[in-house]
């Protein structure tokens, strides 16, 4: 399978590319800038997601896409709009025009960030984005569903928690995913015959997890990394952080607290 990865210069790509190279030797990497750790045996195709013609060019001859591209943090709307809204549409439309069979959309926990941490949710709960970044991820899930059901593309949206070698605070004990487990989810999205239009959560084996990930398990996901193995270190780091009444209540953390001025509804629902 020839696979395209957008956002190849970003942190998630950097952590997963070495494993993906072994699984998909024809992996093509794309970003607006060349990754600074690009190897001689890696194929790089630069493209700006806001340029539909350029995105058409990089998706030509591709069978599957891992779409990590776009703004990856909370930013003003005029920065989110080009890459995360227009660029996301361009990616799906270019993939449709070129007959790409499967797309994995890197969604985020911030699409549902305004659920309280005490509430366990599945993929059927309504989106509650915690900022413009989260809104763009909800949009990506929606346009992915459009292209799945209207055009027959097989789409997997991964609501990724926090990717890293270990969880580094209390919240991440619930939302953390190790890169090896994330690659498992990539493979499911690219290869599993039952995938039609799926929303899966990107978390490892987390006893404190906020999310019901049963659909991923039904599709064969078997996370091998355990958050509680890092519990003491994460809780020690948490103890050094200042309290945040808003961020500590909601699943989205500081994204929820940023600009929060809902005086009529204190964080309790």
Reduced to 3 states, what is the DSSP secondary structure of residue 5? strand
For 241, other C-beta atoms within 10 Å of its C-beta total 12
Spot the catalytic one: 133, 147, 201, 221.
133
Q: Which two tokens stand for residue 187?
A: 């493979």
How far apart CA 56 and CA 263 sit, in angstroms, is 46
Alpha carbon 83 to its chain's center: 15
> Crossing angle for the helix pair 132-151 and 87-97, nearest 10 degrees?
20
How far apart CA 8 and CA 28 sit, in angstroms, is 9
Sign of CA dihedral 23, 24, 27, 31: negative
Q: What H or E segment, with its residue span, contains residue 163?
A: strand 162-163
133 as an active site residue: the answer is yes
Q: Which sequence positions are flagged as catalytic?
A: 133
């Amino acid at each position: 399978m020839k696979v395209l990865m957008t956002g190849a210069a970003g942190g998630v790509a950097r952590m997963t590319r070495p494993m993906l190279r072994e699984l998909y030797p024809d992996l093509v990497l794309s970003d607006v800038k060349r990754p600074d750790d690009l190897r001689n045996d890696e194929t790089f195709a630069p493209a700006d997601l806001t340029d539909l013609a350029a995105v058409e060019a990089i998706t030509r001859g591709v069978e599957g896409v891992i779409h990590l591209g776009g703004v990856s943090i909370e930013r003003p709307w005029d920065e989110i709009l080009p890459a995360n809204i227009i660029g996301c549409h361009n990616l799906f439309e270019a993939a449709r025009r070129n007959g790409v069979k499967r797309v994995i959309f890197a969604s985020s926990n911030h699409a549902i960030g305004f659920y309280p941490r005490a509430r366990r949710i599945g993929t059927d709960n309504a989106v509650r984005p915690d900022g413009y970044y989260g809104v763009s991820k909800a949009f990506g899930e929606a346009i992915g569903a459009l292209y799945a059901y209207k055009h027959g593309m097989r789409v997997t949206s991964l609501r990724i928690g926090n990717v890293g070698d270990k969880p580094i605070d209390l919240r991440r004990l619930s939302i953390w995913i190790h890169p090896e487990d994330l690659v498992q989810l990539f493979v499911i999205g690219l290869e599993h015959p039952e995938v039609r239009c799926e929303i899966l959560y990107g978390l490892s084996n987390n006893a404190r997890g906020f999310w019901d990930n049963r659909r991923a398990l039904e599709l064969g996901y078997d996370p091998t990394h355990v958050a509680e193995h890092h519990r003491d270190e994460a809780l020690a780091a948490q103890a050094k952080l200042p309290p945040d009444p808003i961020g500590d209540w909601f699943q989205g953390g500081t994204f929820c607290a940023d600009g929060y001025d809902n005086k009529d509804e204190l964080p309790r629902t």
